[in-house]
């Protein structure tokens, strides 16, 4: 695997993490 692919993968993961955190935070405030 090239470094470029790895960097993009890390960006995807960090982006997903922020989405999950925002999503779960929205659920918490709803209940």
The proportion of the chain whose per-residue pLDDT surpasses 70, expressed as a percent, equals: 90
Confidence band (pLDDT; 50, 70, 90) for 6? very high
- Report helix, strand or coil for 1: coil
Query: What is the pLDDT of the chain when averaged over all its residues?
Result: 82
Residue 2 CB coordination number (10 Å)? 7
pTM over 0.75: no
> Domain coordinates of the chain in residue numbers?
1-30
| Residue 7: band (very low, low, confident or very high) from pLDDT cuts 50, 70, 90 | very high
Angle, CA 7 vertex, CA 24 and CA 25 arms, to 5°: 10
DSSP state letter for 2: -
The whole-number pLDDT of residue 31 equals 61
Q: Which of the 8 DSSP states describes residue 24? A: H
Say yes or no to pLDDT of 21 above 70: yes
């Amino acid at each position: 695997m090239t470094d470029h692919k790895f960097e993009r993968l890390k960006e995807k993961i960090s982006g997903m993490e922020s989405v999950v955190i925002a999503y779960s935070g929205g659920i918490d405030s709803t209940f």
